[in-house]
Amino acid sequence: MNKKTLTLATAFVFAHFAFVAPFVPLKNILPAGFGALSMTSMTLVLLLVGRWRIVDRILGGSDKAYASHRWLGFFVIGGSLAHWALASPVGLGILLELAGRGSIAGLIAIIGLSVVTRVAMLRVIPYHIWKASHTLMGPLFLLSAFHTFFVASPLAVGAAPWALMAGVSIVGVFAWCQTLLPKLVPERLVEVERVIPFDGGVDVTFRSKKPMPKFQHGQFAMLSHKSLRAEAHPFTIAGGDEMTRRFVIRAAGDWTDNFVSAVKIGDHFRIGRAVGRFLPQIDSQRKEQFWVAGGVVITPFLSAFERMQPDVGGRVTLIFGILSREAAGAIRDVERHARRLPQLNLIVLSDDRNERLTLPRLLQIIRDMSEDTQVYLCGPQGLKNMIGRAWAMANISGRIYSEHFDFRGAYGMEHLNYIFRPVLDAVRNIKLMLTGSVVASS
């Protein structure tokens, strides 16, 4: 989390306590604030689930919306648990006979939210179970709203925080109902025209019988099986025209594992409209640019290459990190475009040749770049942090554009090392200190 995001998140949290403070006794500020935080966050989550275009536009793209969804989920469960731990019945509530039921509804809601959160945080949970658990968010929100208005509360009916929670609840219910309706988005039934398998993935092209809506290079689309109720998954468009769409898909979960192993020419799927705001500049008036991608996340740059023409505009340097040539589904296309475009400087780093991107290597690559060079990168937060550090060390002021599209945002086994390493280091240091103390005393 960068400083700007941390500042916004902190302000968002503390705004709830500041808002309720004038209306409740001192001892009730924390539980009331945490309860309001949880309700507001749940409403915003339901709004994000609806994937409204205006919301994506405000947040700067759907990948940012998914990231916001994840952080709001932490606020939901954190606020709920803190409220449950600190709150106690105060006053009579709106209806005395419903106060007890309001408490029970709140208890059921916090149990349900705890279960949903744990399912969401573990990548080992199959996708269909994860998705099914998320459908409980609406009913849990209704229970939380019932708890908010009918439990014994220090908030007076009609007070500003009470009115705000009423408005939040109405918006949340509306947003949830909207998610239950069929999606009124243009979907096209398409047929698999070409399948090129590679180690761990597949390069697939679909063809439509009718012209499809235009897309911009760098955008993604939802892909699903032909059934109208089939699960849809986002994939960046790797290329195509008004009749075709190309995707390079790696097996990285139960849905993609099945897709990569089973897709064949003649299969039918549905493709949604193109969305997203990760748009590398390709016209001849561009500034110098630095593109960074690893594996199949080369796809937004592939679609950019298709539309880029040879010119004498700003230089474009691309670092393409791959596990091996066999596992890089689009390596030949990338190399073909590098030969075609004189403005493109291609640097391929392969793990099987021990060519990982390190800070010293990165500084060596960017040493001759102009001070306003812009960065477009697709990769994990660690890579973004490294580039930000290198940018600062090289006194480059150009903006860094990034897209981190993790549909689930869950933690897998590969994350455990990073999660528990600080804990293990702390335990090891304490052990060394204790051992040193024992030796010194003896």
Is the pLDDT reported for residue 9 higher than 90?
no
125: pLDDT confidence band, cut at 50, 70 and 90?
low
For residue 154, the model assigns a pLDDT of 66
Of 169, 201, 204, 202, the residue nearest 190 (C-alpha): 204
Q: Give percent above pLDDT 70 in the chain.
A: 78
Rounded to whole angstroms, what are the CA distances from 26 to 23, 91, 193?
Answer: 9, 15, 67
Q: 432 or 78: whose pLDDT is higher?
A: 78
For residue 183, the model assigns a pLDDT of 54
Is the pLDDT reported for residue 182 higher than 60?
no
Q: 192 or 431: whose pLDDT is higher?
A: 192
For residue 418, the model assigns a pLDDT of 40
Q: How far apart are CA 64 and CA 60, in angstroms?
A: 6
Residue 59 CB burial class (10 angstroms; 0-12, 13-18, ≥19)? middle
Q: 3-17, 186-200, 384-398: lowest mean pLDDT where? A: 3-17
Residue 87 CB neighbours (<10 A) = 20
pLDDT digits (tens, 9 = 90+) for 203-222: 999 999 999 988 999 888 88
Give the residue-averaged pLDDT of 328-357: 91
Give the residue-averaged pLDDT of 332-357: 92
Q: How far apart are CA 388 and CA 204, in angstroms?
A: 34
DSSP secondary structure string for all residues of 357-372: --HHHHHHHHTTS-TT
For residue 417, the model assigns a pLDDT of 44
CB-CB contact of 295 with 324 (8 Å): no
For residue 412, the model assigns a pLDDT of 44
- What's the mean pLDDT when you consider all of the chain? 81
413: pLDDT confidence band, cut at 50, 70 and 90?
very low
pLDDT digits (tens, 9 = 90+) for 286-311: 999 999 988 888 999 999 999 999 99
Of 299, 305, 294, the residue nearest 274 (C-alpha): 299
Is the pLDDT reported for residue 124 higher than 90?
no
Q: 55 or 284: whose pLDDT is higher?
A: 284
pLDDT digits (tens, 9 = 90+) for 226-263: 876 677 788 999 999 999 999 999 988 778 899 999 99
DSSP secondary structure string for all residues of 141-154: HHHHHHHHHHS--S
Is the pLDDT reported for residue 194 higher than 80?
yes
Is the pLDDT reported for residue 420 higher than 50?
no
Helix-, strand-, coil-residue percentages of the chain, each rounded to 5: 50, 15, 30
For residue 152, the model assigns a pLDDT of 66
pLDDT digits (tens, 9 = 90+) for 254-292: 788 999 999 999 999 999 888 877 888 899 899 999 999
